[in-house]
Amino acid sequence: MNMPHGSLAERDYNAGEDDDSMDVKGTDRRIYQNAIYNGVCSPVLDGLLYLGSDTVARDYDKLKESGITHIINCAAGYSPDYHADKGLKYLSYHLKDHVRENIECCFYECIEFIEQARKEGGRVYVHCVQGISRSTTICLCYMIKTQKIGMQEGLDMIRKIRAIANPNMTFMGQLIWFHKRLYGSSFDSIPVSPRVFLVCSHQPEDPFKVACKLQMDNLYIQ
């Protein structure tokens, strides 16, 4: 990750999340870290897949500098497709960072989009508002599918270059089930409710985008 030598971002990145040398605690530390990474285009898979916030999504010069050709916008209700008129290719979703959001229904379309960019020699920037939960989840689904790794292993890899990466609890669960469906020998260890899907509009904001949605009721009851 390219950061100015000796900068606060470099010191925070090198120190890792467990460093107590900074005189900030709890919420203040999270705000500090979020501010550090807000303008960073983090290379998840260098040369192909990048992760970040709306701030970078707005900055055409930074996207161009990073060689970005494709963008997955996970927060279309907040971030418009800023540079579609400049030739960047967009895949956009009105996803919410909420425990009742079904993000798994986007996985295969996102994987196909990233794979197409790879075949074209392009680079994909995945963003939400802060580059913490929704966009991290989409990067992880691609890593699980193509790198054949588990959710936690992939998240550990991402946190080495973007310490604030932190999908919410439901997103983590959906990633774990996604891995089990891909590589598990049976469905015995998967809860009953994820076997029930609804074919419907993805979001009220985008009624013509049809998705196969996971039934979320009683998701954690066994």
Is the backbone of residue 207 left (phi > 0), alpha (psi -120 to 50) or beta?
Answer: alpha
Angle at 117 between CA 155 and CA 90, to 5 degrees: 85
Average pLDDT for residues 63-72, to the nearest whole number? 98
User: Is the pLDDT confidence value at 187 over 80?
Assistant: no
CB–CB of 73/57 below 8 Å? yes
Residues 24 and 96 in one domain: no
Domain hosting 8: range is 1-37
Q: How far apart are CA 128 and CA 134, in angstroms?
A: 6
Please check whether residue 202 lies inside any domain of the structure. Answer: no
Specify the amino acid at residue 40.
V
Q: How far apart are CA 139 and CA 126, in angstroms?
A: 7
Work out the mean pLDDT of the chain and round it to a whole number: 83
pLDDT at 192: 53
Positions annotated as catalytic residues are 128
Residues in the chain: 222
CB–CB of 127/51 below 8 Å? yes
Residues 94 and 130 in one domain: yes
Please check whether residue 214 lies inside any domain of the structure. Answer: no
Residues 58 and 15 in one domain: no
CB–CB of 215/193 below 8 Å? yes
User: Is the pLDDT confidence value at 111 over 70?
Assistant: yes
Please check whether residue 217 lies inside any domain of the structure. Answer: no
Tokens of 173: 């669960």
Please check whether residue 96 lies inside any domain of the structure. Answer: yes
Average pLDDT for residues 107-133, to the nearest whole number? 98
Residues 63 and 124 in one domain: yes
Please check whether residue 88 lies inside any domain of the structure. Answer: yes
Residues 150 and 182 in one domain: yes
| 119: CB partners within 8 A, 6+ apart | none
pLDDT exceeding 90 applies to what percent of the chain? 64
Tell me the pTM: 0.79
Helix (H) or strand (E) holding 143: helix 134-147
Q: How far apart are CA 43 and CA 33, in angstroms?
A: 17
User: Is the pLDDT confidence value at 218 over 80?
Assistant: no
Please check whether residue 99 lies inside any domain of the structure. Answer: yes
Q: How far apart are CA 110 and CA 45, in angstroms?
A: 15
Residues 72 and 178 in one domain: yes
Please check whether residue 15 lies inside any domain of the structure. Answer: yes
User: Is the pLDDT confidence value at 198 over 90?
Assistant: no
pLDDT at 21: 41
CB–CB of 197/215 below 8 Å? yes
Between these two residues, 203 and 198, which has the higher pLDDT value? 203
Radius of gyration in angstroms for the set of CA atoms belonging to the chain, rounded to a whole number: 18
Between these two residues, 7 and 100, which has the higher pLDDT value? 100
HSE value, Cβ hemisphere, 13 Å, CA-based, for 167? 29
Structural domain tally of the chain? 2
pLDDT at 194: 52
pLDDT exceeding 70 applies to what percent of the chain? 71
Residues 103 and 30 in one domain: no
Q: Percentages helix, strand, coil for the chain, rounded to the nearest 5?
A: 40, 15, 40
Angle at 131 between CA 127 and CA 133, to 5 degrees: 105
Please check whether residue 194 lies inside any domain of the structure. Answer: no
